[in-house]
Amino acid sequence: MKQPDEGNLFTDLMEFGPAPTMAREIVVAVISLGIVAVLFAIVGPELPAFVALGVIVAFMGGRFVIGLRQWEQRS
C-alpha cells in the first residue's frame, strides 16, 4: 500500500528534494540522464548543452546525498 507522503514518479521528478526511497531516486536519475541524452541529440555537443549537463549532474548528486541521510535514518 502506498503511503501518502510517497507520491508518484511524476512528483519524484518534479520535487527539489529526494524521492522517498533510494530505488525511486535511482529511477529519477536514470530518467534525467535520458532527458540529457535527448538534449545532446537535439542541440549537439555545444557549450550550453555541457553547462546544462553540469547543472543537472550537480543537482542530482545533491539530491542523492541528501536522500542518503534521510534513507539511513528511516532504516
Classify burial at 12, counting beta carbons within 10 Å of its beta carbon; exposed 0-12, middle 13-18, buried 19 or more. Answer: buried
Say which residue, 27 or 13, is predicted with more confidence: 27
> In Å, how far are 7, 13, 50 from 47, measured between CA atoms?
35, 25, 5
Q: Which band of pLDDT confidence, cut at 50, 70 and 90, is reported for residue 30?
A: very high
Q: Is the pLDDT of residue 70 over 90?
A: no
CA–CA distance, 60 with 52 (Å, rounded to integer): 12
Indicate whether this model's pTM tops 0.85: no
